[in-house]
Amino acid sequence: MPKSFRVAVCDDHAVMRAGLCRILDDDPELEVVGEGSTADEAVALAEATRPDVFVMDLSLIGEGGISATQRIRAVSPETRVVILTMHEDIAYLREAFAAGATGYVLKKGAYQELALAVRTVAAGQHYVHPSLGLSLMAEDPAAAERKPVPLLSAREAEILRLLVLGYTNAEIGRNVSLSGRTVETYRARIQQKLGLRSRAELVRYARDIGLLE
């Protein structure tokens, strides 16, 4: 069965790059179509292969990942870029998104998050590491009004709203035309995206971003 999304990777550490490629290739929806170690190699690769998503190390030796992201977007506008970094700083996140990236993943969480982030941005959404997403909203409460659920799709947001209102999986399924088992899968995905474990945390998150208003 053919894979759904084509992915390229750029990281200047060979061992790290090999690990990233393995994580992505192990996902049944993702196919790695090339890899590079410098900004120039990444841009040439993007132009030659036109991947759906490019995973870009922020701190490349020489020309950095921000500049490389801008160049990739110029030569292959349809390619979405996920920044991979060790920096847990909102300033870096803002700079990356201003350069045209649509995903931001911390290296410490790459094993758990990277494939999910790539699938998310390939589907046309943004992905931000959960702790940074919450920090961004805390720093700018108006952001919640402009974009009520920044990490979730419209379907996921609706399921979250019904969950925190106390509906059972079966009741939610009847509301959104899904099976109870599929609703449970959505719930697990929502919790993974947001980095939240309990129903109380989900309720607090939904309330804080205005989802219950």
Q: Give residue 108's pLDDT.
A: 82
pTM score? 0.63
Name the residue ranges covered by the structural domains of the chain: 5-134, 141-208
How far is the C-alpha of 33 from the C-alpha of 208, rounded, in Å?
40
Question: Nearest-CA neighbor of 151 among 165, 179, 173, 132?
Answer: 132
pLDDT digits over 64-97, tens only? 898 999 999 999 999 999 999 887 777 788 888 8
How far is the C-alpha of 57 from the C-alpha of 10, rounded, in Å?
6
User: Quick check: 54 and 80 in contact, CB under 8 A?
Assistant: yes
Query: Do 5-134 and 141-208 have matching folds?
Result: no
Q: What is the pLDDT along the chain (213 residues), one digit of tens a residue?
A: 567 899 999 999 999 999 999 999 999 999 999 999 999 999 999 999 999 999 999 888 888 898 999 999 999 999 999 999 887 777 788 888 888 999 998 888 788 889 988 998 998 888 887 666 544 544 554 444 444 344 567 788 888 888 888 889 999 988 888 898 999 998 888 888 777 777 777 887 777 666 665
Pick the CATH number of 141-208 from 3.40.50.620, 1.10.10.10, 3.40.640.10, 3.40.50.720: 1.10.10.10
Q: Give residue 81's pLDDT.
A: 96
Per CATH, domain 5-134 is 3.40.50.2300: yes
